[in-house]
Amino acid sequence: MNLTFKIIASARTGETVPALEDLVGARAGQAENALVERGYELRRSAKQADSSFTYWLEKNTGNCVAIRTTDGRYGAIVYTADRDCNRR
């Protein structure tokens, strides 16, 4: 009998997202395709001062991820509250 278990990580707000660390510093336009290929869904975006923020839902875990983009490059990728992905 072969059992397969899916491990779902619990995320804490503000912690970096290990699976996306390689995208920090990447050009936003190119990195968005990588996010979609890795199972993330864009939920919303916002602008604040000189940065843009996009909020992505990680489909496998249900975790919400925030990405800060400045000067066209990803600067920080962290877990954030469910409400940021329009979830309760």
Nearest-angstrom CA–CA distance, 56 and 3:
30
Lowest mean pLDDT among 2-6, 14-18, 33-37, 64-68: 2-6
**Residue 1: pLDDT above 60?**
no
Lowest mean pLDDT among 4-8, 30-34, 83-87: 4-8
Residues 49, 55, 58: CA angle, nearest 5 degrees: 160
